[in-house]
Amino acid sequence: MNGWQTLLYKEVLRFWKVGFQTVAGPVLTAMLYLLIFGHALESHVKVYDAVSYTAFLVPGLAMMSLLQNAFANSSSSLIMSKVMGNIVFLLLTPLSYMNWFVAYVGASVIRGLVVGLGVCVVAAFFTHLSFEAPVWILAFAIMGAALMGTLGLIAGLWAEKFDQLAAFQNFVVMPMTFLSGVFYSVHSLPPFWQTVSHLNPFFYMIDGFRFGFFGVSDVSPWLSFSVVGGALLVVSTIAIHLLRTGYKVRG
């Protein structure tokens, strides 16, 4: 294996070794959301015709879990390396900044996809899932995981201690995730909050992903694809620039 493949393997092995915590835990959390919200609101909420509320929840919960875990993978790995001081061993290698980017984001994509797939597989035992446009499902899953893995890379480079990383996750990632239409359609919101939701890139990731399952969505999947692709390009440019300049990792 060459440099970036070795680092990718190391990052994948890092989360896989504790898979009960990094994979099984998020799947269980998503299932608890599904059981609680599905049981409580199944007979009270109808979003799309011919789609039960429980089925409506599954893509949102799968994507939410995927996004959060992709972010956690790259951000936690970097901050742990910085705090423990073993990042110096990576700095001594001939790895380029692009090797770092591909390995960290690649591992985040893998973890995100594994968790998202796990949620869908387990949820299939509780409700019927259709797959109207599998290509859209795969496209938004990969782009969403890559975007959040890249954002986690930026957060990990910026944070100097665990408290800062936790603040970034609690005040940026979590609110944007929960206010993106995971549990509801934005059409059910007042006009002002519909406008706010359309400014949230997480909304487009979840709405486009959901379109792949049901063939219906709140906005065009092509619009969602464009927004998510543009956001991925922006955060990737920022992350690559930070890695190239050695931001907070090189003295």
Q: Is the pLDDT at 157 greater than 90, yes or no?
A: yes
User: What is the rounded average pLDDT for all residues in the chain?
Assistant: 90
The full DSSP string for 68-117 is HHHHHHHHHHHHHHHHHSTHHHHHTS---HHHHHHHHHHHHHHHHHHHHH
Nearest-angstrom CA–CA distance, 133 and 210:
10
pLDDT for 217-233, tens place per residue? 889 999 999 999 999 99
pTM tops 0.75, yes or no: yes
Domain boundaries, the chain: 3-245
What pLDDT is attached to residue 45? Answer: 66
112 C-beta neighbours (distance < 10 Å), count = 29
Give the whole-angstrom CA distance, residue 187 versus residue 218.
Answer: 7
Tokens found for residue 228: 């998510």
Convert the pLDDT of each residue in 83-141 to its tens digit.
888 888 888 888 889 999 999 999 999 999 999 999 999 999 888 888 999 999 999 99
